[in-house]
């Protein structure tokens, strides 16, 4: 009584459109995940390169500072002062790691991954 050829054809078209829609949503989800992974890898690569450059700069500055202090304190004490400075920085980072490192990193990653 309710099923006519036109109704069956319309339901068939609706099912085909829904299949196409689900396929497109699946493709969109895959592309979105790929984009976010690529952005994350890019950010990590840039951070690694910047980190290595900063480390090299700190090494050269450390030697320059030690050699600059050497005439006044002697080489062993100059290098000890530079090492103590880095120990102090390490302890500060250890004490404030949540505020200085973890929270900004979580915010950055969340903004990177949640952005649409």
Q: What would the pLDDT profile of 46-80 be if each residue is shown by its tens digit?
A: 999 999 999 999 999 999 999 999 999 999 999 99
Mean pLDDT of all residues in 9-22: 90
- Mean pLDDT over the full length of the chain: 90
Q: Phi first, then psi: give them for residue 25, nearest 5 degrees.
A: -65, -40
For residue 1, pLDDT beyond 60:
no
The pTM (predicted TM-score) of the whole model is 0.68
pLDDT for 65:
96
Residue 74 is given by DSSP the state: -
* Residue that the structure tokens 């005439």 belong to: 71
Q: Phi first, then psi: give them for residue 51, nearest 5 degrees.
A: -60, -45
For residue 13, pLDDT beyond 80:
yes
Cα 62 from Cα 85, distance rounded (Å): 10
Three-class SS state of 114? helix
pLDDT for 60:
97
């Amino acid at each position: 009584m309710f099923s006519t050829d036109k109704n069956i054809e319309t339901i068939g078209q609706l099912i085909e459109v829904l299949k196409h829609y689900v396929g497109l949503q699946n493709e969109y989800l895959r592309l979105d995940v790929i984009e976010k992974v690529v952005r994350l890898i890019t950010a990590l690569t840039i951070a690694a390169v910047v980190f290595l450059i900063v480390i090299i700069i700190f090494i050269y500055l450390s030697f320059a500072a030690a050699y600059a202090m050497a005439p006044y304190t002697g080489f062993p004490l100059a290098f000890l002062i530079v090492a103590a400075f880095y120990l102090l920085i390490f302890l500060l980072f250890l004490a404030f790691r949540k505020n200085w490192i973890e929270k900004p990193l979580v915010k950055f990653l969340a903004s990177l991954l949640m952005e649409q």
